[in-house]
Structure 1
Amino acid sequence: MSPEEFKEARRALGLTQSELGAVLDTAPQTIRKWEMSDVRSTARGVNPVAARAMRWFLGGFRPPEWPRRPVG
């Protein structure tokens, strides 16, 4: 999964970087770096385990840590 695909998946799930970080037990700064273009010097490749988890989330899996949104 490319950084742009990862970012698009997060947005499709309606999560902020902080919320996704809480779900993945990862700092929001790390999420930000995973989403950066590879040409930036501070960019990191997307963690393969996180990419796999994103595919599960897109498929409908929701762990207990998933953020709850108020209804209304």
Structure 2
Amino acid sequence: MTPEEFKEARRKLGLTQSELGAVLDTAPQTIRKWEMPDARSTARSVNPVAARAMRWFLSGFRPPEWPQGR
């Protein structure tokens, strides 16, 4: 999953970076870095486990940590 695909998936799910961070037990700053274009000096590759989880979320899976009303 590219940074752009990850960001688009988060937006489709209607989550902020903070909300997604809480669901994935990851700091919002890490989410922000995953969503940066690869050319940026502080960018990080999207974690493969997080990318897999995003695909599950897009298919309808909602863990207990999911924000209410989303």
Same fold (TM over 0.5): yes
Name the structure 1 match of 2:59. 59
**TM superposition shift of 1:25:** 0.1
Runs ≥4 in structure 1, deviation > 2 angstroms? none
Give runs of aligned pairs for residues 1-72 of structure 1, distance below 5 A: 1-69=1-69
Give the alignment's TM-score, normalised by structure 2: 0.98
Task: Give me the identity figure in percent.
Answer: 87
- 1:30 and 1:39 map into 2 onto residues whose CA distance is 16
Tell me which structure has the larger Cα radius of gyration: 1
Unaligned runs of 5+ in 2: none
How big is the alpha-carbon RMSD for the aligned residues of Structure 1 and Structure 2?
1.0
Gaps spanning 5+ residues in structure 1: where?
none
| Counterpart secondary structure, 1:69 | coil
1:25-49 per-position Cα deviation (integer Å, ceiling 9, x unaligned)? 0000000000000000000000000
Whole-angstrom CA distance in 1 between matches of 2:20 and 2:3: 14
Give the TM-score of the pair, scaled to structure 1. 0.95
C-alpha displacement of 1:69: 2.2
User: Could you tell me how far apart the structure 2 residues matched to 1:32 and 1:5 are?
Assistant: 13
